[in-house]
Amino acid sequence: MSQESTVPGELGEPALKGSELAEPGAVTIVVPTFNESANIRELLHRITESVPTRLPCEVVFVDDSTDDTPEVISEAARDCPFPVTVLHREEPVGGLGGAVVEGMRRASSDWIVVMDGDLQHPPSLVPELVGTGERAHAGLVVASRYIKGGSREGLAGGYRIAVSRGATWLTKGLFPRRLRGISDPMSGFFAIRRSAVTAEALKPLGYKILLELAVRSRPHTITEVPFVFQDRFAGESKSTAREGFRFLRHLLGLRTASPVARMLVFGLIGATGFLPNLVGLWALTRTGMHYVPAEILANQLGVAWNFLLIEHLLFRDRRMHRNWWDRAGRFALLANADLVLRIPLIALFVHKFGMGALTATALALVTTFVLRFVGTEALVYLPRRKGSCTEPRRAA
C-alpha cells in the first residue's frame, strides 16, 4: 500500500498536467528517499536555485522512510515554484531501484532526471543533463565521475572507493557491449527520455538502477557529462553489506537473462552438487551402509544443495509462481529422473548406434543435462498458465 500527496507550486497554482509538462526539455526529477528528512529543505532549495523558470519542472519523491521525511517534504514543498509529489510506499519492493521505477511511472515530462536525496548529486547539473541530451539527441545522459572533469571525492574512505571501482570493473566486464559508452555504470545520477524506457520491463533489485536501465532497455544514443561526487549534506550513508549482496544477486540475474547464460549457470551449480554428494556418500558408507542405498541417499544431498542455490541465485524472481514445497518436489523428481533415464540412454547409444561406452556416457550426460534444465525451467519455475501477472514477492 502507498500514500501519495501532491503539493502545488506557490500562489496556490494547481499541479501541472502531463500535457502541460510534456513539451521539449520539460523535466521530472525523481528522488528516492529513505530517512532523508535532514536533507529535504536544502535539496529543494538548490533545485529551485538551479532549474531555470524556462525549464518546466516537477519533483517526484518516492519515499520508503520510517521517519518524518514525507511530512518534511510536504512542508518544504510549499515554498517551491514547481509541483512536488510525495509517494510514500509502505512496502519498499525492489529497494531504491524499485522506488526509481515507481517514480518513472508517475513522471509526466519528456525527460526524467534521477538523483539521490542526500545532495551528493549536485542539483545544479540538472539543466546541463537535459540540455546535453537535447543537443545530442540522446536517450540517456549519464553524470560520470570517471571522465575528464569528474571526481569521486565525496566517497569517504579508501574502502568505499575500492568497492565502487571494483563494482565498476565487474559490471563493465560482465556487460562489455551493453555498457559501451558508459564510463560510470554505478552512477545514480542520470537523465533519460521517458520514451526510451518501459518501466514494466525493468526488474530492479537494490540501488543500481542505471545498470538495470542500460542492460534491459538500453537507449540507442548515450552521452555523458562529468560531475563531482559531493559530500553528504546530512545523515549517514545507506550503503551496507546487505545492499552489496543484493547488488551481486542483481548482477547475476541480469547476466542470466538469456537461456544460454541460464543453462551455463545451471550447469555450474549442478557441478557444485558433487561435493555434498561425495561427503554424504562417505559418511553413510562409514556407518556400514551398502554403497547402493548410500549413493541414492547421498544424491539427495546434492539435489537439495543444487535446489537451494538455484532458488536463490538463478530463479529468484520466478519463485512466486509455485509454493516452495511444489517447487522442491518437482525439482527433486526431475533430478532423480536424470539418474533413471541415463542408463537406458547409454544402452540405446551403445546397442542401437554402435557408440563406445565413454562416448555414449558423455552424450547421455549432455542429453539428460539439457533435458533437466529445460524441465526445471518449464515445469518448476514458469507460471502455471500463460499471462500470469502475479506480483513478485519482495526479496529477503
CATH number of 2-255: 3.90.550.10
- Residue 140's SS3 state is strand
Contacts of 337 (CB under 8 A, 6+ apart): 372
Cβ neighbours of 275 (radius 10 Å): 12
Q: How far apart are CA 73 and CA 323, in angstroms?
A: 41
The rounded average pLDDT for each run of 10 residues, N- to C-terminus, in the chain (396 residues) is 52 36 68 91 92 86 91 91 91 80 88 91 93 92 90 63 72 77 87 80 67 78 90 64 66 69 80 83 85 80 89 78 87 83 82 82 82 86 58 41
How is residue 7 written as a grid cell? 503539493
Cα–Cα distances in angstroms (integers) from residue 205 to residues 124, 248, 252, 253, 305, in the given order:
29, 10, 11, 9, 24
How is residue 95 written as a grid cell? 529497494
Strand ranges across the sheet with 111-114: 2-7, 84-89, 57-63, 27-33, 111-114, 190-193, 140-144, 222-226
Answer for the pair 144, 132: CB distance below 8 angstroms, yes or no: no
**228: DSSP letter:** B
pLDDT at 108: 85
Cβ neighbours of 69 (radius 10 Å): 23
**288: DSSP letter:** T
pLDDT at 23: 42
Q: What are phi and psi of 313, to 5 degrees?
A: -110, -35
E strands in the chain: 2-7, 27-33, 57-63, 84-89, 111-114, 140-144, 190-193, 222-226
How is residue 262 written as a grid cell? 541460464
How is residue 14 written as a grid cell? 494547481
Q: How far apart are CA 131 and CA 2, in angstroms?
A: 33
pLDDT at 83: 92
**154: DSSP letter:** T
Q: How far apart are CA 308 and CA 213, in angstroms?
A: 29
User: Domain residue spans in the chain?
Assistant: 2-255, 259-381
pLDDT at 389: 42
Q: What are phi and psi of 220, to 5 degrees?
A: -65, -40
- Residue 101's SS3 state is helix
Q: Cα dihedral sign for 286, 287, 289, 294?
A: negative
